[in-house]
Amino acid sequence: METLGSALEREHREIDGGIETYTAALAVGTTDTEPLVRATDGLRRHIYLEEAFLFPPLREAGMTMPIFVMLREHGELWRTMDSLQALLGDDTPSATMLDACRELLALLDAHNSKEEPIIYTQADTVLDGEASTELLAFLEAGRMPEGWVCAQA
C-alpha cells in the first residue's frame, strides 16, 4: 500500500506537471488553459487537505514551527494562484503568463523541498493507520468545500 507521504509527493509531481505542460504549450503558441486550471484546482485542493486534515495532528505532535512555515507559504502560493487566475481572464501576453507560471513553479519547488522531507516523513510516523487511510481516500476522491480559502491567503 502506498504511504501517505508518497501519495502526497505524487500529487506534487502531478500538479507541477500540469503547470509545466501548460507552459511548454504556451511557449509554442498553444493557448489551451485546461492543464493549468486542472493543476491550480488540484493545488488548492491539496492545500485544503493539508490544512484541514494533515497539519492539525502534526501541530499537536509538536511540529508547530514547521507547520507555521507551511501555512505562510500556502498563503503565498494561494495569492500567486489568484493572480495567475486573474491573468487567465485577460488578453495577457504569453510572456507574462510564462513568467507568472515560472514564479508559481519556483514557489512550489521551494515549498515542496521543505514539505516533503520534513512534513511528509512525519505524517507517515505521527498519523495513525485510520487517519492515513482517511487521507489517502480523500486524495482519491475528496472535494474541497466550495469557497474554502487557506488560512493565510
CATH number at residue 97: 1.20.120.520
Residue 26 lies in a domain: yes
Residue 56 lies in a domain: yes
Residue 104 lies in a domain: yes
Q: Rounded to two decimals, what is the model's pTM? A: 0.94
pLDDT of residue 40: 98
pLDDT of residue 30: 85
Residue 151 lies in a domain: no
State the total domains in the chain: 1
Nearest to 81 by CA among 128, 150, 12: 150
The residues of the chain scoring below 70 in pLDDT are 1
Residue 148 lies in a domain: no
**What residue numbers bound the domain in which 29 lies?**
4-141
Residue 146 lies in a domain: no
What the block records as the C-alpha cell of 86 is 486573474
Helix, strand, or coil here: 143?
Answer: coil
pLDDT of residue 1: 67
Q: CA 66 to CA 137: how far, in whole Å?
A: 25
